[in-house]
């Protein structure tokens, strides 16, 4: 196996075992006017956020929060 093929093979194996890090709730989101009326952190799970209006839980990712915006 050539050097480039070996590197590609190694990266492929590594990539299948590596998961991206989970996003966590950022307290600064609570100071943003568009979110502070409804956004809440989920106690006991820093990777989740919730909506106080509709009571749904979702991942604590800014893109998910923007999509949920009430």
pLDDT-derived band at 5 (thresholds 50, 70, 90) equals: low
pLDDT in tens, 10-67: 655 555 556 667 789 999 999 999 999 999 999 999 999 999 999 999 999 999 999 9
How far apart CA 11 and CA 3 sit, in angstroms, is 12
Q: What is the pLDDT of residue 7?
A: 59
Q: What is the pLDDT of residue 13?
A: 55
Q: What is the pLDDT of residue 21?
A: 73
Q: Which residue has the tokens 């050539």?
A: 2
Rounded to two decimals, what is the model's pTM? Answer: 0.69
- Kind plus residue range of the DSSP H or E element containing 9: helix 3-17
């Amino acid at each position: 196996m050539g050097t480039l093929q070996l590197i590609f093979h190694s990266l492929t194996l590594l990539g299948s075992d590596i998961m991206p890090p989970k996003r966590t709730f950022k307290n600064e989101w609570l100071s943003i006017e568009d979110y502070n009326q409804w956004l809440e952190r989920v106690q006991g799970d820093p990777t989740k956020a919730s909506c106080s209006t509709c009571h749904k839980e979702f991942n604590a990712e800014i893109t998910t929060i923007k999509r949920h915006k009430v």
